[in-house]
């Protein structure tokens, strides 16, 4: 009874630990939503897009009127020294021009004299306040060019955000179904190992009974060692693939993909439709277009700075009554000479516009080629998968024949082992082809600017490889 009390909690604990060690199952749709919410790369692109959008929003009134209020409060000390020597000289000359000099009066009077100098000093405070306004009337299109440039930068950031999201969709398909492929390969290798172990034991008995030679026994042992190595490697690859998927999803624990590898038996729609869609929706073209718009607006701004600028202005003291001072008028400014070589600057902006135009043409050609490459890769993988049914059937039939031959003594254990290994190899190769189809299809929809099309293809696929 005491042993049972000890063993029961331990068994529960072991079951709990083994349950926690199992990766959590996650279908493709849930993985995509999780990636959208957790990807640091996508969050950075979103922040950059939001920053550029806010910058463009902040410049929407650029070139409009500006109103400001200014005020000051100051304390001052003023000292002024006046030299009075010239005044004293004038007073002396004035006495000489009098009818009777002051000194000849019955009571002589001295000529009044001022101090040689006098210093005037004052301490006081002063407060001033005024309101001013400047309204540009004509800027030669420079303000419109600045606002257009900011809008083009925001458009480029939005294109970068979309392109990041589309690239993540392809990366998720690669890692998600790569983990699925690795798990299936590990399961097939493990199954093959179990079969080889069984035939290895049978070979040991046959050797003991003298039914086979020692070299055949050694061949079976060597095949067992190889099967063990392959199984360990496949299991390690599966664990690494699941961890890579968890890292992409920012999940602290490994996850197990539950959506199976798939293939659509029907051919893809014509390639031209995918190319047309890509030339309309690929975010790379939107980015190139935004670059071209930026170059054009920079050229417009350079042209605008060469034109005269006209503005209205006004200023008034914030003081009640008629004593307030004010001024208002219209001004103009035209730069006649600048230290910059305006001809060279204009040529540079024109060259940037041409560069953007050529980049757009090259991007369209590259995207069309990318669509064709992905379309052909998906079609080749689809056809290859369908053509492998015969190879799988042949490998399965050989396993059956070797099993019958082993019972009847016409086949050796090594031949049966080779048949099992070849069947597992053929099944793994077919799963690899399905993975190539899936990744090519994901790349195709990314190139078309429609990553959601991959999820639609997954939903309507008519061939699904069962999960291991």
DSSP string, 79-129: EEEEE-HHHHHHHHHHHHTSSS-GGGSSS--PPP---SEEEEEEEEEEEEE
pLDDT score of 94: 57
331 has which bridge partners? Answer: 311
Percent of the chain scoring above 90 in pLDDT:
45
pLDDT score of 19: 40
Cβ proximity of 173 and 454 under 8 Å: yes
For 70-90, what is each residue's pLDDT tens digit?
A: 888 889 887 878 776 776 666
Distance CA 115, CA 351 (A): 78
Distance CA 355, CA 287 (A): 14
For 409-453, what is each residue's pLDDT tens digit?
A: 777 777 888 888 888 889 999 999 999 999 999 999 999 999 999
Q: How confident is the model at residue 462 (pLDDT cuts 50, 70, 90)?
A: very high
For 392-404, what is each residue's pLDDT tens digit?
A: 899 989 988 988 8
Cβ proximity of 23 and 254 under 8 Å: yes
75 has which bridge partners? Answer: 125
463 has which bridge partners? Answer: 263
Distance CA 433, CA 467 (A): 16
For residue 4, the tally of other CB atoms under 10 A from its CB is 7
pLDDT score of 2: 41
Q: What is the distance of C-alpha 209 from the center of its chain?
A: 69
CATH for the stretch 25-64+140-320+345-464:
1.20.1600.10
Cβ neighbours of residue 266 under 8 Å, at least 6 residues apart? 462
């Amino acid at each position: 009874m005491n042993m049972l009390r000890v063993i029961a909690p331990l068994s529960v604990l072991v079951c709990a630990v083994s349950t926690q060690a199992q990766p959590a199952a996650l279908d493709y749709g849930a993985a995509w939503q999780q990636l959208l919410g957790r990807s640091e790369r996508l969050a950075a692109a979103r922040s950059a897009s939001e920053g550029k959008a806010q910058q463009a929003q902040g410049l929407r009134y650029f070139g409009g009127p500006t109103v400001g209020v200014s005020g000051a409060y100051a304390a001052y000390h003023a000292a002024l020294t006046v030299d009075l020597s010239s005044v004293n000289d004038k007073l002396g000359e004035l006495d000489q021009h009098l009818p009777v000099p002051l000194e000849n009066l019955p009571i002589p009077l001295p000529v009044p004299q001022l101090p040689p100098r006098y210093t005037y000093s004052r301490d006081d405070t002063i407060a001033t306040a005024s309101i001013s306004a400047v309204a540009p009337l004509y800027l030669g299109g420079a303000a419109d060019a600045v606002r257009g440039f900011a809008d083009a930068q925001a458009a480029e950031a939005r294109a970068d955000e979309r392109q990041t999201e589309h690239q993540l969709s392809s990366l998720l398909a690669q890692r998600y179904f790569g983990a699925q492929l690795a798990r299936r390969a590990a399961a097939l290798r493990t199954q093959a190992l179990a079969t080889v172990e069984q035939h290895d034991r049978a070979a040991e008995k046959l050797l003991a009974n003298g039914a086979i030679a020692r070299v055949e026994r050694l061949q079976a042992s060597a095949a067992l060692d190889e099967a063990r190595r392959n199984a360990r490697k496949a299991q390690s690859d599966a664990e690494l693939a699941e961890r890579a998927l968890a890292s992409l999803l920012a999940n602290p624990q490994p996850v197990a993909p539950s959506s199976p590898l798939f293939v659509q038996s029907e051919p893809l729609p014509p390639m031209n439709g995918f190319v047309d869609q890509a030339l309309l929706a690929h975010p790379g073209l939107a980015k190139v277009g935004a670059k071209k718009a930026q170059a054009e607006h920079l050229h417009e701004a350079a042209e605008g700075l060469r034109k005269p600028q006209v503005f209205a202005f006004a200023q008034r003291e914030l003081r009640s009554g008629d004593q307030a001072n004010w001024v208002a008028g219209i001004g103009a400014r035209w730069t006649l000479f600048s230290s910059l070589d305006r001809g060279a600057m204009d040529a540079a902006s024109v060259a940037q516009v041409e560069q953007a135009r050529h980049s757009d043409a090259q991007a369209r050609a590259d995207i069309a080629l990318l669509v064709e490459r992905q379309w052909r890769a998906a079609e080749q993988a689809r056809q290859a998968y369908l053509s492998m049914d015969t190879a799988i059937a042949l490998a399965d039939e050989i396993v059956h024949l070797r099993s019958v031959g082993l019972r009847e003594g016409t086949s050796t254990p090594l031949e049966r082992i080779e048949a099992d290994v070849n069947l597992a190899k053929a099944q793994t190769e077919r799963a690899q082809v399905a993975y190539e189809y899936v990744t090519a299809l994901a790349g195709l929809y990314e190139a078309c600017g429609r990553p959601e099309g991959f999820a639609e293809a997954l939903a309507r696929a008519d061939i699904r490889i069962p999960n291991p």
